[in-house]
Structure 1
Amino acid sequence: MGSAASVEVSVVLPAYNEEGSIEGTVEKTLQTLDSFLDGGYEVIVAEDGCDDRTPEIASRLAREDPRVRHVHSDERLGRGGALERAFSAADGEVLVYFDTDLATDLSHLEELVERVRSGEYDVATGSRWLPGRVADRPAKRGVPSQGYNALVRLFLRSGLRDHQCGFKAFSREAFEHLSTQVEDSHWFWDTEMLVRAQREGFRVAEFPVEWTPKGDTKVDLVRDVFGMGSQILRTWWQLSVQPRVTRRVTLTAGGFLTLLALVLMTQYIDFGAVVTEMQQADPALVVAGALVYVLSWPIRGLRYRDILAEQGYRASVGFLTGAVFISQTGNLVFPARAGDAVRAYVVKMRRGIPYPSGFASLAVERVFDLLTITLLAGVVLIGYTVTGQTAELARTVTGAEGAGRVAVGVATVVGLGAIVAVAAIVASARSGTNFVRRAVHRISTDSYAEYVADVVEQFVGDIQRVAGTRAGFGRIGLSSVCIWTLDVVTAVLVLRAFDPGMGLVTLVSVGFFAVSVGNLAKVLPLSPGGVGLYEGAFTLLVVGLTGVGYPLALGAAVLDHAVKNLVTVIGGVASMLALNVSLTTAVDQGPGDNDVEVDVVQDD
């Protein structure tokens, strides 16, 4: 074939366990290239961590024919990763790939190559969905494919009809530019390359091809929903949302968060019945309670540092305290604890902590919170049992109605769930057994399931690492006790500000129990920040166990929750300013406006 400098076209065949077809595919590819090229090409088998005879066959083909090369990987790189590695090793200026099952008729190969080789286009892709040449696909393939492509066009503003057809060509310049931006290394790689090519102003040609489905398939829940869907959302955020989150927008959003968090409380609670009681509260004790609550936040940062350290990551307490403030502020406003995702994003972008590890650290933190709160409530419950107040407590709970009864019921379920979760985590950590891959394979047999299993195993493994060491478990447990003890002391000081007329022991015991149950009640995302559920549980228990008036108990519950939420939001906004969190940093370091004109040519 000559020297590498004479190679103009490089054709890559991504291969994973293709021992039955790879030799025939290589032979047919060489024959087809010979029909329209006078030499100057190479065929690269991008063998991706196969566990069958594909590597042996590919090596033999490379030895027998100088036009064939074999790029081997000991580990699974994923479809996109294997392609990027092979393209980087290729010598040609026109980089081509197609699926080894030859579902796309190779009669289109000349057209694919010449689109880019002629210099008319930078990227070319076959399409199964252009008008006049729609592939005859079974419903179980066609429906998900059309739905997926519609979502890509809607969210990512692509002008193409088919993003996943395994029949594409790139100029060397386009590939080298785009590969530095593309993050996915598996099935979404094709889509992300095409979307970013359009955004970057490269000329993209889409043309119809004859395509015949090969083999059997099925709608894959893991791949289609969790895999590809999450990648669409990630790319949409990066291309359409992130560039618009400027410093001014961040500051405005911070102010809006403050107002919205306060207004939301008025929507869940009728303040008319408690205003008088709240006006009579001792402001000095309320301020003291707020200051005690402020002290708990550096401990939250310290605990989060210890959790990450057990996972093998390092970050300062100051930074992590700010990250916790920001995420908890988001949780006050949005249901389903959406603020947790913000923290995972912040630590990834600012400290390079992968998303699975970031979410695992959040899961560990949440489990320790629930376990600690449950234990605090359990200690007080034992005290009530010893002092003979169990019957009174039972009458209080069973006689409750409305929000109070719902809150206590939720708290009971959550508390039991926390105990079971911790027991399961500790047991699995000590056994060293991980059943993730087996469970994922029951849902999906698609090759992308391996990628998903790796991500989930990393998530579970990070949790197990924290729970598997006595020192780590002890440090994180102790800091959790300190955090929630300060939370209870805040509530006790606020309740004392209303002068409820009860002794210190009663005040503290009721405070510990009411706050613990209230916090357990607000775990489920039934309202932003748990507003309403916390007050319901707190008021029910304080009234039932002490006999104080309903307005006083509700006033204390509302004020306690308001003080804590206000400290959280102020700390969150201050952290946004102090840390200039990753959203703003990404804009400062990014390419700027991504609203470029899309030039896509479609040939019928």
Structure 2
Amino acid sequence: MTDVEVSVVLPAYNEEDTIERTVSVTLETLAAFLPEDAFEVIVAEDGCADRTPEIATRLADEDDRVRHIHSDRRLGRGGALEYAFDRADGQTLVYFDTDLATDMRHLEELVESVRSGEYDVATGSRWMPENRADRPAKRGIPSIGYNTLVRGVLRSDLKDHQCGFKAFDRQAFEALAPSVQDEHWFWDTEMLVKAQRRGFSVKEFAVDWEPKGDSKVDIVRDVFGMGSQILRTGWELSVRPRITRRVSLGAGTALVVVALLLMTQYLNPHTVLNEMAGADPALVGASAVVYALSWPLRGARYRDILQSMGFRERWDFLTGAVFISQTGNLVFPARAGDAVRAYVVKARRSIPYPSGFASLAVERVFDLLTITLLAGVVLMGLAATGSADTLVGAVTGDVAGGDAAASGQTAIAVAAFVGVAAIGSVVAIVASAHSDRNLVRRTVGRLSDDSYADYVAGVVERFVGDVQTVAGDGRSFARVGLASLAIWALDVVTALLVFAAFGYPLTPSLVAVGFFAVSVGNLAKVLPLTPGGVGLYEGAFTVIVVPLTPAGIGVATALSVAIVDHAVKNAVTIVGGVTSMAWLNVSLTKAVEESRTAADVEPEATD
């Protein structure tokens, strides 16, 4: 049993020039208002590369009130504080920056505010009217902007969230720490915001503050890092709790209903239903069979992608995983099914989340590239046979069509832009895969060289490295490319069979139009607006077909073809998804919930 009531943690990273004086001043200040055995000073040495560990060990040997907690690698400022607080003995947990920028005469008020039981959390502030703080523009302007964002986005009542001078009651800390996700500079802010949201009493009081040394404001950490953390926390606290499964399904359904209601203003629904009723059921069934044939190819393609990353799995299991993920995209908005696949391969085959998401990125790049290549082949084929006049006329506006022709031109321009972007992405990935230069680290290093930038670069490197691995394996690259061509060809053939079911002969021009309609429709589905892109696919498909087939297909027929085509594909997907969920014993709802966060890895540290 210890008599320690107050534990003061000094987060230290390469502080060999200041740590000894900081410990001495801290001990002297605490001894002025606390009994000698009522406090401890902990040097939370965070994977230092200088003499800080040796100095901290010596100080701990010389004074029983001093402890040294060492980490073999960087935990980050927040991670180091949590690690030390977990091992501290006191009921009042305190920390402040080792540069002693905050006047130490405020330490008694900080400690006693919590130790007395009056407050759960206490924090110094440099932005209250009565305080004195020397704030150069280089520090002051970013700080004002940051705190304004936190107050506005996260609805905090505090004026200064980043002052390194805080105290917590142990019970409050233990209640809050598990919910805090950041391990770096945003840790302070997240603790304070969540303390207010949870109803803990928080005291903010003015402190005299004088900057010591150079400012550590930097683009990656402060703009990208902390800015993104504000948005992430705002989403977690204010948005995500309101996006329930019922709300998601309701919102997606409402969007589809609104789109259909608007469509009735210029299109008679009975005409569409009559067109659909006249379709040949045998050919519609054949289209379903053709589309079903593409799914084993999807599983085989995913197997080749993962194999090049060092994971060997059976194509049948992976086909089931793809089925489940695509079913998730039909049920939930925002393409939640993509994360579901990463969850399934992680839960069933222990494939790490970064590799799961990287494999998805590879698929997306190949899909976009395949669309572009097929478009080029179709156009060259039409030009070679002299059958491209109608298509070219519609695209260039030479064929009458009014606004519809203009819409077709816009859609083709969008498809061309995405295609060029896909080619550029593949070229960049292949080039980087065959380069000895670390492009990620080099790019991030131009913006920042601090520890947070190093952390960001490490995460990006792990993701990009998996993508580059696939691009660097020639055989795997070729197999994935050929599988993508076959998958997309079958996707287009499915739509063409639906055209045939409506009585249209498959002329070269219609084949080209069918490809463009399917490709642009699938591009529209990328927008996470409705579950499965229902309504988006049909609208884009119709916009392409009408202007590019001026000789015969009207809006009602084009929409009917789009509805049947999409319905066939969704029906095959759902049947395969339900079957795969039963086979692999996967709950789609649980998969969506579990896939929202990736597993955290416990850092190694020693006391």
**Contact 1:495/1:556 (CA < 8 Å) preserved in 2?**
no
Q: How does 1:524-543 map to 2 (within 5 A)?
A: 529=536, 532-543=539-550
- 1:367 to partner: Cα distance: 0.3
The Cα offsets for residues 235-257 of structure 1, whole Å up to 9 and x where unpaired, read as 33333444445xxx524532542
Instruction: Provide the rounded CA distance (Å) in 1 between the counterparts of 2:2 and 2:424.
Output: 64
- 2:490: which partner in 1? 486
Q: How does 1:500-515 map to 2 (within 5 A)?
A: 500-502=504-506, 506=508, 509-510=511-512, 513-515=515-517
1:549 aligns with 2:518: no
Match of 1:32 among 29, 39, 42: 29
- 1:414: which partner in 2? 418
1:325 aligns with 2:327: yes
Instruction: Provide the rounded CA distance (Å) in 1 between the counterparts of 2:19 and 2:340.
Output: 41
Structure 1 residue matching 2:2: 3-state secondary structure: helix
Instruction: Provide the rounded CA distance (Å) in 2 between the counterparts of 1:119 and 1:452.
Output: 39
- 2:588: which partner in 1? 579
Gaps of 5+ in 2: 399-404, 597-607
**Contact 2:11/2:80 (CA < 8 Å) preserved in 1?**
yes
Amino acid at match of 2:28: Q
**RCO comparison, higher one (Cα < 8 Å, 6+):** 1
- 1:67: which partner in 2? 65
Over the aligned positions, Cα root-mean-square deviation in angstroms equals: 4.0
Instruction: Provide the rounded CA distance (Å) in 2 between the counterparts of 1:268 and 1:294.
Output: 31
- 1:592: which partner in 2? none
- 1:356 to partner: Cα distance: 5.3
The Cα offsets for residues 361-391 of structure 1, whole Å up to 9 and x where unpaired, read as 4422210111122222233334335435567
Instruction: Provide the rounded CA distance (Å) in 2 between the counterparts of 1:145 and 1:190.
Output: 14
Q: Which moved more, 1:43-52 or 1:483-492?
A: 43-52
Amino acid at match of 1:16: Y
**Distance change in 2, residues 1:219/1:295 (3 Å):** farther
Instruction: Provide the rounded CA distance (Å) in 1 between the counterparts of 2:500 and 2:181.
Output: 55
- 1:359 to partner: Cα distance: 4.8
- 1:238: which partner in 2? 236
Instruction: Provide the rounded CA distance (Å) in 2 between the counterparts of 1:233 and 1:86.
Output: 28
1:174 aligns with 2:169: no
**Contact 2:513/2:544 (CA < 8 Å) preserved in 1?**
no
- 1:279 to partner: Cα distance: 3.6
Match of 2:107 among 75, 94, 109: 109
**Contact 1:104/1:209 (CA < 8 Å) preserved in 2?**
yes
- 2:53: which partner in 1? 55
- 1:182 to partner: Cα distance: 1.8
- 2:259: which partner in 1? 264
Q: How does 1:293-372 map to 2 (within 5 A)?
A: 293=291, 296=294, 300=298, 307=305, 317-327=319-329, 339-340=334-335, 343-344=338-339, 347=342, 351=346, 359-372=357-370
Structure 1 residue matching 2:434: 3-state secondary structure: helix
- 2:499: which partner in 1? 495
Instruction: Provide the rounded CA distance (Å) in 1 between the counterparts of 2:395 and 2:493.
Output: 24
**Contact 2:432/2:439 (CA < 8 Å) preserved in 1?**
no
Structure 2 residue matching 1:374: 3-state secondary structure: helix
Instruction: Provide the rounded CA distance (Å) in 2 between the counterparts of 1:145 and 1:407.
Output: 45
Match of 2:455 among 451, 457, 464: 451
**Distance change in 2, residues 1:56/1:155 (3 Å):** same
Match of 1:165 among 144, 148, 163: 163
- 2:605: which partner in 1? none
Instruction: Provide the rounded CA distance (Å) in 1 between the counterparts of 2:82 and 2:36.
Output: 24
**Distance change in 2, residues 1:209/1:416 (3 Å):** same
Structure 1 residue matching 2:371: 3-state secondary structure: helix
1:467 aligns with 2:471: yes
- 2:401: which partner in 1? none
Match of 2:225 among 227, 251, 254: 227
- 1:481 to partner: Cα distance: 3.0
Percent of aligned pairs sharing the same letter: 55
Amino acid at match of 2:413: G
**Contact 1:265/1:531 (CA < 8 Å) preserved in 2?**
no
**Contact 1:518/1:538 (CA < 8 Å) preserved in 2?**
no
Q: Which moved more, 1:348-357 or 1:45-54?
A: 348-357
Instruction: Provide the rounded CA distance (Å) in 1 between the counterparts of 2:501 and 2:461.
Output: 49
**Distance change in 2, residues 1:368/1:115 (3 Å):** same
Structure 1 residue matching 2:10: 3-state secondary structure: strand
- 1:95 to partner: Cα distance: 1.8
- 1:438: which partner in 2? 442
Structure 2 residue matching 1:96: 3-state secondary structure: strand
Gaps of 5+ in 1: 332-338, 588-604
Amino acid at match of 1:177: A
Q: How does 1:124-143 map to 2 (within 5 A)?
A: 124-133=122-131, 135-143=133-141
**Distance change in 2, residues 1:466/1:510 (3 Å):** same
- 1:190 to partner: Cα distance: 1.2
Structure 2 residue matching 1:492: 3-state secondary structure: helix
Structure 2 residue matching 1:5: 3-state secondary structure: coil
- 1:118: which partner in 2? 116
Instruction: Provide the rounded CA distance (Å) in 2 between the counterparts of 1:309 and 1:234.
Output: 33
Structure 2 residue matching 1:102: 3-state secondary structure: coil
**Contact 1:408/1:521 (CA < 8 Å) preserved in 2?**
no
**Contact 1:381/1:513 (CA < 8 Å) preserved in 2?**
no
Instruction: Provide the rounded CA distance (Å) in 2 between the counterparts of 1:395 and 1:191.
Output: 60
**Contact 1:96/1:169 (CA < 8 Å) preserved in 2?**
yes
1:562 aligns with 2:563: yes
Instruction: Provide the rounded CA distance (Å) in 2 between the counterparts of 1:122 and 1:526.
Output: 42
Instruction: Provide the rounded CA distance (Å) in 2 between the counterparts of 1:377 and 1:328.
Output: 27
**Contact 1:116/1:171 (CA < 8 Å) preserved in 2?**
yes
TM-score normalised by the chain length of structure 2: 0.79
Amino acid at match of 2:431: A
Instruction: Provide the rounded CA distance (Å) in 1 between the counterparts of 2:594 and 2:468.
Output: 33
**Contact 2:371/2:488 (CA < 8 Å) preserved in 1?**
yes
Instruction: Provide the rounded CA distance (Å) in 2 between the counterparts of 1:328 and 1:500.
Output: 29
The Cα offsets for residues 267-306 of structure 1, whole Å up to 9 and x where unpaired, read as 5898549985884452523465456446656765775576
Instruction: Provide the rounded CA distance (Å) in 2 between the counterparts of 1:265 and 1:136.
Output: 61
Instruction: Provide the rounded CA distance (Å) in 1 between the counterparts of 2:90 and 2:21.
Output: 23
- 1:10: which partner in 2? 7
Instruction: Provide the rounded CA distance (Å) in 2 between the counterparts of 1:129 and 1:346.
Output: 47
- 1:33 to partner: Cα distance: 1.9
- 1:598: which partner in 2? none
**Contact 2:2/2:89 (CA < 8 Å) preserved in 1?**
yes
Instruction: Provide the rounded CA distance (Å) in 1 between the counterparts of 2:220 and 2:344.
Output: 26
